[in-house]
Amino acid sequence: MRDERAVAGLVGAILLFGMLVVALSLYQAQVVPSENARVEFDHSQQVGNDLVEVRNALLRTAWSGDAQPTAVSLGTRYPERAFALNPPPATGTLATRNFSGASTVIISNLTRANVGEGLSEYAGDDGALSIPTKRLVYTPHYNEYGSAPTTTYENTVLYDRFGRAAGERTLARTGQRLVTPERVSVVALTGEYTESGVGSVALDPEAVSAGSGAGSSFAGPVTVSVPTALPSEGASGTSWNSLVAADTTLRGDDGRLNVTLAPGTRLRVAAVSVGATPERASPAYLSRESRDATMAAGERRPFTVRVNDASLNPVEGVAVSASVAGDGELVDGDAVVTGADGTASFAYRAGPSDGAVTVWVDSASPGDPGSPKTTTFDVSVPDGGGSDGSGSDGSGDGSGDAATLTYNGDAGPYNGGNTIRFSMSANADATITGVNVSVEGAAWLWDESGGQPEVRVGNGAYDANVDDAPNSANDYYRLGTAVDLTSDATVSAGETVTVEMQNFRRDGNDRPGGSVDVQNERVRITFAFADGSTQTLSFTNGAY
Which residue pairs from 87-90 have beta carbons closer than 8 angstroms and sit at least 24 positions apart in sequence? Answer: 87/36, 87/143, 88/143, 89/198, 90/39, 90/40, 90/43, 90/140, 90/141, 90/142, 90/143, 90/198
User: What backbone torsions phi and psi does residue 457 show, to the nearest 5 degrees?
Assistant: -125, 100
User: What backbone torsions phi and psi does residue 259 show, to the nearest 5 degrees?
Assistant: -130, 130
What CATH number should be reported for the domain holding residue 334? 2.60.40.10
Our count of domains for the chain comes to: 3
Which is higher by pLDDT, 232 or 486?
486
H or E element in which residue 51 lies: helix 32-64
- Report CA-CA distances (Å) from 274 to 133, 136, 153, 186: 11, 10, 13, 16
Q: Average pLDDT for residues 495-511, to the nearest whole number?
A: 85
Which is higher by pLDDT, 280 or 486?
486
Q: Are residues 290 and 235 in the same domain?
A: no
Q: Is there a domain that residue 14 lies in?
A: no
Domain final residue, candidates 387, 419, 454: 387
Closest CA to 91 of 72, 78, 76, 112: 76
Q: Is there a domain that residue 40 lies in?
A: yes
CA dist 529 and 206 (Å) reads 52
Q: Is there a domain that residue 5 lies in?
A: no
Q: Are residues 402 and 517 in the same domain?
A: yes
What integer best gives the mean pLDDT of the chain?
85
Q: Are residues 67 and 124 in the same domain?
A: yes
Percentage of the chain exceeding pLDDT 90: 48
Q: Are residues 154 and 196 in the same domain?
A: yes
Which is higher by pLDDT, 231 or 131?
131
* Digit-coded pLDDT (tens) for 47-99: 999 999 999 999 999 998 999 999 999 999 998 877 777 889 999 999 999 99
Which is higher by pLDDT, 306 or 182?
306
- Is there a contact between 217 and 266 (Cβ–Cβ < 8 Å)? yes
* Digit-coded pLDDT (tens) for 154-182: 999 999 999 865 568 899 999 999 998 77
CA dist 17 and 24 (Å) reads 10
Q: Average pLDDT for residues 424-431, to the nearest whole number?
A: 90
What CATH number should be reported for the domain holding residue 512? 2.60.40
Q: Residue 317's domain spans which residues? A: 283-387
Q: Are residues 439 and 400 in the same domain?
A: yes
Q: Are residues 257 and 335 in the same domain?
A: no
pLDDT at residue number 358:
94
- Is there a contact between 501 and 521 (Cβ–Cβ < 8 Å)? no
* Digit-coded pLDDT (tens) for 17-33: 677 766 666 666 667 78
Domain final residue, candidates 387, 415, 447: 387
Q: Indicate whether 245 pLDDT > 80.
A: no
pLDDT at residue number 385:
47
Q: Are strands 293-294 and 374-380 parallel, antiparallel or unpaired?
A: parallel
Hey, what amino acid is at 399? Answer: S
When computed from its CA atoms, the radius of gyration of the chain, rounded to whole angstroms, is 32
- Report CA-CA distances (Å) from 537 to 158, 522, 526: 45, 11, 6
CA dist 79 and 36 (Å) reads 8
Q: How far is CA 286 from the centre of its chain?
A: 19
Q: What is the 3-state secondary structure (H, E, C) of 359-374?
A: EEECCCCCCCCCCCCE
CA dist 442 and 520 (Å) reads 12
Q: Is there a domain that residue 346 lies in?
A: yes
Q: Are residues 378 and 396 in the same domain?
A: no
- Is there a contact between 73 and 140 (Cβ–Cβ < 8 Å)? no
Q: Are residues 109 and 203 in the same domain?
A: yes
pTM of the full structure: 0.70
Hey, what amino acid is at 300? Answer: R
Q: Is there a domain that residue 10 lies in?
A: no
Q: Is there a domain that residue 11 lies in?
A: no
- Is there a contact between 170 and 161 (Cβ–Cβ < 8 Å)? yes
Convert 523-534 to b/e letters by CB count within 10 Å (16 or more is b): bbbbbbbeeeeb
CA dist 275 and 58 (Å) reads 13
- Is there a contact between 324 and 357 (Cβ–Cβ < 8 Å)? yes
Classified as helix, coil or strand, 416 is: coil
Q: Is there a domain that residue 432 lies in?
A: yes
- Report CA-CA distances (Å) from 314 to 186, 201, 210, 270: 16, 33, 9, 11
Closest CA to 307 of 359, 347, 356: 359
Domain final residue, candidates 247, 273, 299: 273
Q: Are residues 258 and 305 in the same domain?
A: no
Which pLDDT band holds residue 389 (cuts at 50, 70, 90)?
A: very low
DSSP state of 167: G
Other Cβ atoms within 10 Å of 250 Cβ, number: 17
Q: Is there a domain that residue 394 lies in?
A: yes
pLDDT at residue number 263:
75
Convert 191-207 to b/e letters by CB count within 10 Å (16 or more is b): bebebeeeeeeebbbbb
pLDDT at residue number 247:
55
Q: Are residues 379 and 234 in the same domain?
A: no
Other Cβ atoms within 10 Å of 357 Cβ, number: 27
CA dist 69 and 87 (Å) reads 32
Neighbouring residues of 324: CB distance < 8 A, sequence distance ≥ 6: 330, 348, 355, 356, 357, 358
Q: Are residues 118 and 221 in the same domain?
A: yes
Classified as helix, coil or strand, 37 is: helix
| Cα end-to-end span (Å), the chain | 107
Q: Are residues 148 and 269 in the same domain?
A: yes
